[in-house]
Structure formats: structure tokens, C-alpha cells
Amino acid sequence: MKCRKNDNCNSPPLDGFVSSALHYDVKFAQSWTSDETSQPPGYTRMNRETENRFGSRVRREGYLLRTIIIALILGSLVTGCNDPDKQKMKYHRKGLIYSQRGRCAEAIAEFQKALSIDSDMADSHYEAGKCYQKLGNHAQAIRALDKARLLNPQLNVKALLQIADVYVNMGSPTLAEQAAYDALAAHPKDIEAAMFLGKLKWKEEKIDEARSWFEECAATDPKHVESRLMLAEIAMRDNQPENAEAHLKEIISEIDPTNVPAKLALAKIYRFGGREGQAVELLRHILDDNPNNVVARSALAEAYFSIGQLKDARTEIEAALKGSPASAELHSLLGAILLKQGDYALAVQHLTKAAGVPSASARTHYLLGLALRETKQPAQAITAFRKAIALSPDDIPAHLMLAQTLLAEGSLEQALREIDLVLSRDPENNSAQQLRVQAHALRQALENIESLLAAEGLSKADVEKVKTALKAFQTEDLQTVKTICQDLLQSAPNSPVPFNLRGLVFLKEKDLASALKDFRQACERDPEFVASYINIANVSMAIGSYEQALQNHRKAMELSPKDGTIPFRYVRTLTTAGHYDEAEQFLKDLTRKNPSHLPYRLALANVFITRNKYSSAHQELEQILKLDPNQRDALYLLAETFAKEDNLGAAAAKFELLAESRPLSGLAGVKLALCELALGQPEKAKSNLPCSLSDENITPLGRAVCSLLMQNEERYEDAEKLLLSLPSDEMDDTPYSLMLANVRADRQTQGPPATLDSKGSRFSEVFVKSYEGLLKSKQLSPSDWYELNLGIALAEAGWQRPAISRFEHVLEKTQPNTALMEIVGRLWEKEGEPNKAIAMYQSAIAADSSYWPAYYRLAVQSFRAGETAHAEESFRSALKYQPNSLFILLGLARLYESTGNDAQALKIYRAIDELHPNLAPVMNNLAWILAKNPETLEQAVTYAQSAATAQPLKADFLDTLGWTYFLKGDYTNARENLDKAVLLDSSNPTIRHHRGMVYLRLGDKKNALADFRDAGATKAPFPERQLNDEMIRNLS
């Protein structure tokens, strides 16, 4: 549109923009201008010429009005009537009082009384407009504010900005922006208008535009504090603390030395920059001037908390609570402090108060879950962790603590779902890996009990005692088992059986350290007692000591070469530990020695499939079927391999071969139906997978495939019901929530747009925004929505390639959609195609430079490839848009540790500890770094104690604690903790070396040399190798 005469061509053209928001007439706006007789609804826009004409008319009419008023006043003096000016001002002042007290309805009534005397009283219109806004009456607010600015041009800018604020409340940022531009057109240097636009852009996350507005404000008025505060906040968001600090110091030193917000922001920079002492000093100065400043006192408590001064932190937060007893944030912080102090019951009280408000954060619910666990309230803890996850789906600690609590309560399947979810997002997460192994180890704990009866050295009476103990064990009468074991230790002290059996009791009681100790005692009693080596391996898997597990599996295989189950346990341990090359080679050697042993060949084929080596899997499976054409497991794996290769026709043929000999059921039947749906054969799929809404035994994947059948038949309501009937913990998963949204979108293609229900889901906010854009775009046809759901089901079956082809087909039909691109990138990652994943993430960033999950995934890929510079750049880019993400912060901290940049790693770990306190790996890593500096050794001990307390079965954490004691010179505590660490992971060379050093300081050269030699015997590299070799030479 061309610029017309008298228009302000520097501001956006605004003709007709208000009609999209409100539909009412402003008739009073039509009476004063001759060239704009059809102004659109909303506020009346004026150019400068119109303002001049309006001003002249106001002056002329004002002269006449003053004449009339003077006459009336003179008349009132004669007649004794009330003075109208005084009366209207009385009503106006009364309205102001009501407005200040928040009694808006009564205030409006008073302003109306004033206006009934003088309808042109601009101030009353303006104040009434503000009250209408507070009451949510947006149309009346705009009318009143518009009237005020028309009556009094001096109110023009002020009223326009108030109108803009109304539009913000209405959720109409475009209209708000245009109103603010009109204010600037009337007064180009108005700082308030520029600030409004800057804040609007900040809210919209258009950071560069926001920065430009704030910089303009600061240039207009170098002493304008608020603009500099906003520039400091932007600098912090952009990870430029130096720039932020410069802005804040300029405010304090040159503009307003008493400015508390600037001082608070500067204190925060000090805290996150590792300058806690400066933060404490600054906050103390604020409180000296204003002891009742609750915000400063709370910040001081957080500063003390971050440096481990818990007593001081508690004192400050309790003082702050006296000034603000209902503050949920203060109760939450006090709860976190009490957790660290071990006062769990009181922590529950305060965290329950904090979690009771609707605005409670995910962190508050997470902390409450921790406190409830410590006070033996697992059911309530599970609820709290679920609430934390609902608010913050990416909160790994909450998922892990939920899994740990579910595991402790015996809910293995639910626990494994949480563990697998974490590993799907962070495959290298050690805590999740250990929890998964522990869950599987618990399942297997009883497998070797029967071998106890074959042990030598037991009398007939003792054998009967063992049988009785086994029966008691099966009924979970653990106290009886312990009593019998105690008797056996008296009657057969040299037998491994009572130690092994009691170890199983400890395992059942989740006392893994005691279980491991007893299993070792059993091996000492009889070095050829195979069951104990297997049990040691199981416990080692549960606590993440994979090398120790592998050592014991090897010993068990050496002692019992004919036991065909042990090699499979060994392979499972290798793959869990990520030693795929070794697992593959081990199975190849076994099949070479035993070419007709089909279980070994099947295991090898499985490893090939896991590693996406489909050609090798084909060859191995064809060999098996030559040996046994009816081998069903081989046929099933062959079908899986074809499906993974996107050869769904061949996959369906193999599944049908399975069905010829025996009707398919369970997962195989579901997968055959899925193949047929993907091949466009819904009738065959329907015949192979009868679907019923009342079938409670159908698996989640089965429900997904059945919902596809129903969606294909346009039975949308049934498809929705089937997906909604999934257990709540399944519906929290991304795939099924997406499927539900897609079904609703398919159903409403011609109607209102569907939405993505992200409540309780694991979506990131940017993912939801992007996907809902797709749902609302109307770009996709019913067949496209069906294609998307087919892709989701294929991905859930583990068939990445055919899933990717469906998603990419839909992507070709839409505008670039970052959510779909992220899905495809993650599928390429699972398929072992990092370059294709990287290309997809780069496309997502090209489509939306603020889509932080793509930066994060790029960082992970670069880190894995050893490209640390690229990884750091991507992590930093992600942090720019998601500064508090635990995923991103942990990844960046690990990167800095791997490159030896301890200073940066320490800074980030401190930030994580503040955001997610009591996260054991973070506390352990903090301790390890802090221990390198004698000045922070005490802090290191505190963190190491907390980490070891949180995870007492983590050998690395006990090693850190033992080593910090060693550095401190406390050799007794050092040995105690390193003994525990060696018990849990005797194969770790660093732990053995550390204990050797402790023995040496204690004067026990014999044991020191033994540990140094054990450490040196390992083939794996370890940091202390050179020093360890030197110690061996010196002591030999």
C-alpha cells in the first residue's frame, strides 16, 4: 500500500487493522473529522494535520465552553446552587481512591458520575478505561481510552500505550504493536512507547528487535535505568555475562547507586560466575539499607546454598519467610536446604506448602518427591515425580527418580519404561543404564538357587535346611532364610552355600553391597562355586560395574564350559556395556567352534540387527534356516530385518510363513498387520488383527495399529477411544499423544483445528508450537494424517527406515516443519546414520533458527564424533534459547571435562546443582574438580559425601569420596570408602591405584603393592598408569 499525504510513512500502515479484534462503532470519532468518515472499529487514529484541526476546534469550543461555565458559576453564586466543577472533581477524586484500592467497579461508577456532569472530562475517561481493562472489559476500555485521547491531545501517547496494553491482554500482539507505533508517530522520541515495543518483542522472543528498541531508549536517555536493565537481561540470555555486568555496574555507579534490581541482577551474575563471595557482599549491602527486602534475603540464601553454607542459608530463608510467609518460592528453597541438611520430615512440610499452589514449579515437585522418598512415602513420591515430569517433560532426574522409586516398589515394567525413555534421549546416561541392568538383574536373581543343592560339603541335615530355606525364600519369608543361614554357618562354616543363599536374601532386600560381600565370601570358601560368580556378575551389572561383571562371567565360563546359559549372559553384559565389537567377535568364535549350535547363531544375528548390519544378519539367518527350515525365531528375525530395510513385502511374506505353521498372536501378529497396512492392504490387516475396544490385553503397539485400522475406516471416535484407553503412563509418551492429535486433525480436516495435548507429555515447548502449527495449517489431507500415524506406528515397531519414508513424504507436502524434522533426525540417529540426522537437524535450524532441540542433537552428534569445537558451538546455541535445560548443561559440562577445561565445567556444574540439587553425578563431578584445588577441598568433601550418600552403590562416587579424604589427610575414612569401592568394582584400575596410595600412607606396603599390581594388570588405559608403574618399581 502506498503512503498517503499526511501519513507517517516510517510506521507500519495500519488501515483497518482493528476490525480483526473488535466489532463495535466508535461513533464519537466520526463527528470531528471531514476526511475520515469510515474509521474502522477500535481506537481512532489521527495524523498531524487532523490533530492540528482538532486542537483548533478544541480551543474554539473550549473558549465557548469556558464562557458558558463562567456564566453558570455566576448564576450559581446568585442562586446558591452547587458548583458543577467542584462536584465532578469530587466524584473523580473518589474514583481515583477506589481505583487505587482495587475497587474498580465502584471507581467506574464514580467516574461515570463525573462524566454525567461533564462528558468531556478526559481524565475521567482515561481512568475509567484503566479500570475497565482491569475488569477484563476490553471493548469498553478501548472506547474510554480513545475518548480520553480525542478530548485531550496531551493524553494521546499515554492512552495509546494503555490501549496497546489492552491488546496484549487480549492476546493480539500485532494490534498492540500497531498502537504503540501510533504513539511513536505522535511523539517519535517517547521512551515509554519504545520500551513497550521492546518488551513486546522480548515476549515474542524476537531478541534482536527487542535489543534494538532498548538500545534506542538508552541512546535517547543515557540515564534510563529500565532499558539498561533489559539490555543486561538480554546479554545474560545470550551468554554474555561480561556485557550484562557492564550495563549493571553503569547503572549502579553512574545513574542510580541505590537501584536494587540492578544490584540483585549483578549478584546473580556473581553467583553463576563462581564469585559467590562478591554476591554475598553485595546482597549484604542491600539488606543493610533495607532489612525487609525479601527478594534480596532470598537471593542471599541461594548464594549461601550454592557454596554449601547451609546453616547460613537456612537462617536467611527463615527470616525471609517471616516477611512473606505465604511465598511458595521461599518454602521451596527452604525445603531444598532442609533436604541437603537431612531434615527430611520438615522438608516435606515446606515442600508440600510450595507444591500446593497452582504455579508450583517442576523443581518443587521433584524436591518434594525426594523428601517423600526419604520419609518412606513411596506412593506419594511417585505422584510428586509424575507432577514434575508433567510440568517439565525433559527433566531427566525426575524420570530417573521415578524409575528408581517404581523399581523399589516392585513395579519393574513401569520402571523400565521410564529408564528406556531416558536412554532414548540420552543413550549414554550411566544412571539409566545402571537402573536398567539392576531391573533385569532382579528378574534373574533366583535363577541359580537350585544349584545350591548340588554343592559339596553339606550333610543330609544341612541339605534339608537348604530345602526349607528355599521354600521360605519363595514365599518371601526372608527372616526364616536368614535364621537358617546362620545355623548353616555354624554347622558348615566352610561351605559357600549359606553365604550364597544369604546373599540372595540381601539381593531381595536391595542391600546390594551386603549381597556382593556374601557372594565374594562364597567364592573364597569355594573358588569353583559357579553360582556365586554368576551372582557377583548380576550384582555388578545392577550397580554399573560392567568390567567386574564381565570378569566374573569369564570365570564362570571357565569353571563351567558346558553351561550354555553363561555365554548368553556374557553377551548381554557386553552389549549393555556397549562392547558391540567384542560381543560380535565372541559369538563369531562360538559359531565357528559350534556351527550347528543355532542359539549362538541367533544371538549373533540379533547383534547384527542391533548394529544395523542387515546384510550380515541376512546371511546368518539364511544359514540357520538351511540347518532348520522351521526355526521360528530365525523366521521372525528375518521378517524383522526385511522390515527394518523397508522391504515390507518380504517382511509380510516371512510373517505369513510363520502363520502357516501356527496362528500368529501377540507381537508377531501385530507386526504382520502393520506390514499389511503399510502395503495398502487394510482388509488383510483387519483379518489378521481383530480389534476390540474391550480387549484389555492388547499391547500399546497393538492399540496403535488397531487405531490405524479404525482411522482408515473413518471410525475416528473409536480410534480416539482406543488411544485414550492406553494406561496414563503410556499416553504420556510422545508417539501415542501425536497419534491422538493426528486422528483428531484427520477427523476435523474441514472443521476447527486439532491441538496437541501436551499436558503431562514429554514434548518441548518449541516442538508443541511447531507441531500445532502443522495441526492448524490445513495443509494436510486425511490421507496425509493417516500417513503420519502410519509412520509413528512403524517407528514404534523399531522400523526406522519405512517410518522415515512416511514422514519425509508428508514433509514434502508442507511448509518446513521443525517438529517433523526433529522426529526424522532422531530416527536417522537410531538407524546409525549420523550424517543424515545432522542434515535434518541443520534443515530444522534453517527453517527456524530458534529451534533449540536441533542444536542440542547436533551437539550430541559432534561430541560423539570427537568434534568438540562444533559440539561446544551447538551446545551454546541451544543454551541461548533454553538456558536452564539440564540436557544441554550436562552435555556442555561433560564436553568441557573431556577437554580438560575444569574452570568452565565447574561453572556449569554449579549452575546445574542450583537448578537440580541432589543430582548425584553432578555432585560427584563437582567434588572431583574441586578436589584439585586445596582451597576448595572442603567443598569437594561435602559434595562427594552427598553423592555417595545419594548412590551408595556407585563405586566411582565412593572412589571420589575416598580420594578427597586422602587429599585431606584423613586416611582412615579414605580407606573405609575405597574398600567399599573395591568391593563394588574390583576391576577398576583407578580405584585400585587410589587404595594402594592410601595403604602406602598407612605404612602397609604389602597391600599397597598388591593393589598397584592389580591396577597395572589391566589392559585398559587409565590416567594414573605412569605413576602406578613407578610405584610398582619402587616397592618391588
pLDDT tens track for 473-519: 766 788 999 999 999 999 888 888 899 889 989 988 888 889 999 99
pTM to 2 decimal places: 0.62
State percent of the chain over pLDDT 70: 85
Q: What's the farthest any 2 CA atoms get from each other in the chain?
A: 129
Mean pLDDT of 289-312: 83
pLDDT value of position 310: 85
How many whole angstroms from its chain centre is CA 238?
21
- When comparing pLDDT for 646 and 22, which is higher? 646
395 φψ region: left (φ > 0), alpha (ψ -120 to 50), beta (else)? beta
Residue type at 1035 in one-letter notation = L
Q: Are 364 and 333 in contact (CB under 8 A)?
A: no
What is the pLDDT averaged over residues 907-930? 93
Residues 6 or more apart whose Cβ sits within 8 Å of residue 93: none
Given this model, what pLDDT does residue 438 score? 65
Q: Which of 850, 767, 768, 852 has the alpha carbon at shortest distance from 206?
A: 850
Most confident segment among 132-141, 238-247, 661-670: 132-141
Q: Please report the pLDDT score of residue 408 as a whole number.
A: 73
Q: What distance in Å separates the CA atoms of residue 153 and residue 161, rounded to the nearest whole number?
A: 14
- Does residue 744 come out as left (phi exceeding 0), alpha (psi in the -120 to 50 range) or beta? alpha
Residue 13: predicted pLDDT: 31
- pLDDT higher than threshold 60 for residue 464: yes
Instruction: Identify the band that residue 424 occupies on the pLDDT scale cut at 50, 70 and 90.
Output: low
Given the C-alpha cell 569420596, which residue does it identify? 961
Residue among 1019, 956, 964, 941 nearest 991 (CA):
956
CB 811 within 8 A of CB 820: yes
Asked which of 627-636, 659-668, 734-743, 880-889 is least confident by mean pLDDT, the reply is 659-668
Whether the per-residue pLDDT at 99 is higher than 70: the answer is yes
DSSP 3-state assignment of 204?
coil
**CA–CA gap between residue 979 and residue 990 (Å, rounded):** 13
- Please say if the pLDDT value at position 58 is more than 80: no
Whose CA is closest to 365, among 407, 394, 336? 336
* pLDDT tens for each residue of 716-774: 888 888 887 766 544 446 788 899 889 988 887 555 556 676 554 567 889 999 998 99
Dist. CA 575–CA 584, nearest whole Å: 9
Average pLDDT value over all residues in the chain = 84
Distances (CA, A) of 239 to 242, 878, 899: 9, 11, 20
In angstroms, the CA 363 to CA 344 distance is 16
| Other beta carbons less than 10 A from residue 358's beta carbon | 5
Q: Tens digits of per-residue pLDDT, 771-806?
A: 989 988 888 888 999 999 999 999 999 999 999 999
* Nearest to 517, CA basis, from 532, 529, 527, 530: 532
Residue-level pLDDT at 39: 39
pLDDT confidence of residue 761: 53
What's the residue count for the chain?
A: 1036
The DSSP result for 623-636, as a single string, is: HHHHH-TT-HHHHH
The C-alpha atoms of residue 623 and residue 601 are separated, in whole angstroms, by 9
H or E element at residue 590: helix 580-593
Question: If DSSP codes are grouped into helix, strand and coil, which group holds residue 302?
Answer: helix
Which residues, in sequence order, are CB contacts of 124 under 8 Å at separation 6+? 88, 91, 92, 95, 111, 114, 115, 118
* DSSP state letters, 856-875: HHHHHHHHHTT-HHHHHHHH
Backbone angles phi, psi at 115, to 5 degrees: -70, -25
Closest CA to 389 of 381, 380, 401, 399: 399
The distance in angstroms from the start CA to the end CA of the chain is: 92
CA distances from 128 to 58, 193, 980 (A): 22, 21, 73
| Rounded Cα distance, 890 and 893, in Å | 5
Spell out the SS3 assignment of 67-105. Answer: HHHHHHHHHHHHHCCCCHHHHHHHHHHHHHHHHHCCCHH
Q: DSSP 3-state assignment of 46?
A: coil
Q: Give the residue-averaged pLDDT of 293-322.
A: 84
The segment with the largest mean pLDDT, out of 94-98, 434-438, 599-603, 870-874, is 870-874
Q: CA 281 to CA 213: how far, in whole Å? A: 33
Q: Cell numbers for 661, please give them.
A: 505353521
Angle at 115 between CA 113 and CA 118, to 5 degrees: 120
In this structure, are residues 734 and 757 in contact, taking their beta carbons and an 8 Å threshold? no
> How much of the chain is helix, strand and coil, in % rounded to 5?
75, 0, 25
C-alpha cell at 159: 492512552
Q: Which residue has the cell 554449601?
A: 308
What is the number of alpha carbons within 13 Å of residue 857 lying toward its C-beta?
A: 29
Given a cut of 80, is residue 20 above it in pLDDT? no
Q: Which residues contact 583 (CB under 8 A, 6 or more apart)?
A: 571, 574, 575, 607
* b/e burial code for range 679-713 (CB count within 10 A of at least 16 → b): eeeeebbbebbebeeeeeebebbbbbbbbbbbbbe
- Which residues, other chains included, contact 91 with Cβ-Cβ below 8 Å and sequence gap of 6+? 110, 111, 113, 114, 117, 124
The predicted pLDDT at position 436 comes to 74
pLDDT at 697 (0 to 100): 52
Is the pLDDT at 291 greater than 90? The verdict is no
Q: Is the pLDDT of residue 1011 over 60?
A: yes
Q: Residue 929: name the closest of 970, 889, 953, 900 by CA.
A: 900
Give me the pLDDT at residue 235, please.
87
Buried b / exposed e along 165-179 (16+ C-beta atoms within 10 A): bbbbebebeebbbbb
Q: How do residues 546-594 score in pLDDT, each as one tens digit?
A: 999 999 999 999 998 888 778 988 998 999 888 999 999 999 999 999 8
Number of Cβ within 10 Å of residue 814's Cβ equals 14
The answer to whether residue 290 scores a pLDDT higher than 60 is yes
Q: Using pLDDT thresholds of 50, 70 and 90, give the confidence band for residue 42.
A: low
Q: Distances in Å between the alpha carbon of 354 and those of 211, 361, 915?
A: 35, 9, 16
Mean per-residue pLDDT, 637-662: 88
Lowest pLDDT segment from 94-103, 250-259, 316-325, 751-760: 751-760
157-161, 425-429, 620-624, 751-755: which range is least confident on average?
751-755
Check whether 830 has a pLDDT greater than 50.
Answer: yes
Measured N-to-C along each axis, helices 396-408 and 430-444 cross at an angle, to the nearest 10 degrees, of 10
Task: State whether residue 449 is helix, strand or coil.
Answer: helix
Q: What is the pLDDT of residues 124-139, one digit of tens each?
A: 999 999 999 999 899 9
Res 29 pLDDT > 70: no
Q: For residue 561, count other CB atoms closer than 10 A to its CB.
A: 10
